[in-house]
Structure 1
Amino acid sequence: MEALEEPELCFPHINTSCRRTRRPYMETTLMYSVLSCIIVLTVILNLLVIISISHFRRLHTTTNLLLLSLAVSDFVMGLLEMPVHLDYQGCWLIGDRMCALNAFLSFLLVSVSVGCMVLIAIDRYIAICNPMFYTTRVTLTRVKLCVCLCWMFSGVHSSWMLRDLLKQPDIFRTCYGECIVVVTFAEGLFDLIITFLGPVLIIAILYSRVLVVAVSQARAMRSHVAVVTVQRSHTVKARKSEIKAARTLGIVIIVFLLCSSPYYSFAVAAQSNSVGGITSGIEIWLLYLNSSLNPIIYVFFYPWFRKTIQHIFTLHILQPGSRDVSVM
């Protein structure tokens, strides 16, 4: 029986090795099953979003470009980040440099997601509150530039936050086989403001304004629907489409806030202000779960996504001229 038991140390032949975290067999099996399903779902659904927006020319809009950037970060999260956390039992087995790289990737992807949420809120604010200037102010070139700046800023921010760990990957570990990130109170406060409190404030202000304008426009459309001309009818439909898009993207942002709030609350509550780089804590998985929920929201609220999924699974995208098919 003893031969079948898991070794107590991560590296049995190293005296300074960390101890392995033990869990009951049923708990481990259930956890692996649920989290594995979440990972597979995250990778597949976000890959479908990436293929859909990249392949079909009718989907090459400014708003969808922001969704594409968000889907890329969610896809990488599911492909590289989540699997590492799935099998972590208190032992980091692939070296200190990979620990630093993993921590950097985690910080980067979370920062990019937050940045995309802010850009989406700005996009919807201009589309609803200043529709006359939307096509001139929000162009594909400017959105691409904003997306690039979002990724660059996130990279710089993550590098600065983890500068000590990136220079000396084993600086914070207390035993061999540990992967941990430690930040000072000032750094933690700065990160909290930059990646959560500041963006949340911006999003709340913009969407409160969008909500007021959308409600007033909806009432105006209902009151004039019986007397509009054909030309005005097309305008009304366009406005309804913009309002529906704002509502859908608003749900995406609300889900993000619900998923990320526990993690940041945990970070603030921790007296030591240290966050494990690899942990199976529920607040970490709630943060990562947001990457799975985004494409699920698209399935329920975006008809074009359901159509593109049909084209992809039936291999119609391999046919000549499939890029120009109307899926809107």
Structure 2
Amino acid sequence: GIYGHCSAAPGQHFVEISATVLKSLLVSYMICVFLAFLSRQLHTPTNFFVLSLAVSDFFVGLLMFFQIMLIDGCWLLGNLMCVVYQYLSYIITSASVGTMVLICVDRYVAICDPLHYPTKVTQKRVQVYVCLCWTCSVIYSGLLLKDNLEQPGRHISCSGECVVVGNYIAGVADLVLSFIGPVIVIIFLYMRVFVVAVSQARAMRSHIATVTLQCSVSVTVKKSELKAALTLGVVVVVFLICLCPYYTFIVILTTQDTSISASSAASVICLFYFNSCLNPVIYAFFYPWFRKCVKAIVTLQILQPDSSEANIL
């Protein structure tokens, strides 16, 4: 395995400090998002997708505790906890990818079919989609790690090691379903959204009331929807940048008989986890309501009885 012996990886103190900062940021971010949803103004379908992404970010922060242990070279929690950690890691990864696809579909409908968006994308439907996304991730990850879950530690060859091993077919299927397929869908949808958004922006600058969209709908998209598309577009691009090295690493391990150093493995995994730290920064930069929520928490305004009715938009 990659971490098959007990030897400290170089730069471990830096990684531990970075991980501590990351966990602190993610915990505060999760609290902020949950409390933000106490405001009824933020109960929109798009924000439920953001909440789903925040949940996965939060769990990534928790998993960093275990990742530090792997980077140090020794797994001290036993075979069962090793499998649980890997299982949760698979669930969070697939749920994050699924949520990104849902976000792209949401923005596609909002920009390309704004007339029917309120009826097609409702809060109840979004809640069902998010629940299905997480449920499918749990089942899917369980199928991938079925043998490891049934017999924890079956592939561990020495003390202090934490590895799970799957067959080649499952690895290729996971690569297609969790990376190649979703990336193709995400790129296609956001290319369409980008074309329509650009045409709308030009129309707004020209003071044109309506334009004919690429999706053959003669209505004007709200400026707020365009801004949401831009913000979530940045989130998606950053996500793909952080995800690609991780899956490139998986492809190398799956297709080639080669060994990869622990430091290289730790680097790509930490880059993927670091993506969860960037999301709140993006939201804070683009969303005024996010900054207002932080202020409300710091000043304890959220403890007031009428906090759910507060105007934060």
TM-score (norm 2): 0.90
Relative to 1, partners in 2 of residues 1:77 and 1:223: Cα closer, same or farther, differing over 3 Å? Answer: same
1:36 matched residue in structure 2:
20
Residue 274 of structure 1 deviates from its aligned partner by 9.6
Q: 1:6-55 CA deviation, whole Å, 9 max, x = no partner? A: xxxxxxxxxxxx6311346xx332232222212222222233122212x1
The one of 56, 63, 82 equivalent to 2:39 is: 56
Whichever residue aligns with residue 165 of structure 1, its letter is N
1:148 matched residue in structure 2:
131
C-alpha separation in 2, matches of 1:143 and 1:36: 33
Whichever residue aligns with residue 202 of structure 1, its letter is V
1:191 matched residue in structure 2:
174
Stretches of structure 1 that go unaligned for 5 or more consecutive residues are 1-17, 229-234
1:232 matched residue in structure 2:
none
1:221 matched residue in structure 2:
204
1:324 matched residue in structure 2:
309
Query: Does the CA contact (< 8 Å) of 2:36 and 2:293 recur in 1?
Result: yes
Whichever residue aligns with residue 324 of structure 1, its letter is E
The answer as to 2:272 corresponding to 1:287 is yes
C-alpha separation in 2, matches of 1:274 and 1:167: 27
C-alpha separation in 2, matches of 1:306 and 1:268: 39
Residue 244 of structure 1 deviates from its aligned partner by 0.7
The one of 106, 109, 113 equivalent to 1:126 is: 109
Q: 1:145-182 CA deviation, whole Å, 9 max, x = no partner? A: 00010001100110001000000001110112211011
Relative to 1, partners in 2 of residues 1:130 and 1:250: Cα closer, same or farther, differing over 3 Å? Answer: same
C-alpha separation in 2, matches of 1:114 and 1:276: 26
Residue 272 of structure 1 deviates from its aligned partner by 4.5
The answer as to 2:7 corresponding to 1:21 is yes
Residue 327 of structure 1 deviates from its aligned partner by 0.8
C-alpha separation in 2, matches of 1:275 and 1:201: 28
Structural mapping, 1:171-210, within 5 Å: 171-210=154-193
Identity between Structure 1 and Structure 2 (%): 47
Query: Does the CA contact (< 8 Å) of 2:45 and 2:121 recur in 1?
Result: yes
2:292 matched residue in structure 1:
307
C-alpha separation in 2, matches of 1:19 and 1:248: 43
C-alpha separation in 1, matches of 2:153 and 2:245: 28
SS in 2 for 1:281: helix
Relative to 1, partners in 2 of residues 1:82 and 1:159: Cα closer, same or farther, differing over 3 Å? Answer: same
SS in 1 for 2:222: helix
Any runs of at least 4 consecutive aligned residues in structure 1 with deviations exceeding 4 A, and if so which? Answer: 272-277
Query: Does the CA contact (< 8 Å) of 2:112 and 2:193 recur in 1?
Result: yes
Whichever residue aligns with residue 22 of structure 1, its letter is A
Q: Greater Rg, structure 1 or structure 2?
A: 1
SS in 2 for 1:267: helix
Structural mapping, 1:259-274, within 5 Å: 259-270=242-253, 271-272=256-257
Relative to 1, partners in 2 of residues 1:122 and 1:170: Cα closer, same or farther, differing over 3 Å? Answer: same
Query: Does the CA contact (< 8 Å) of 2:249 and 2:265 recur in 1?
Result: no
Whichever residue aligns with residue 280 of structure 2, its letter is P
The one of 242, 250, 266 equivalent to 2:225 is: 242
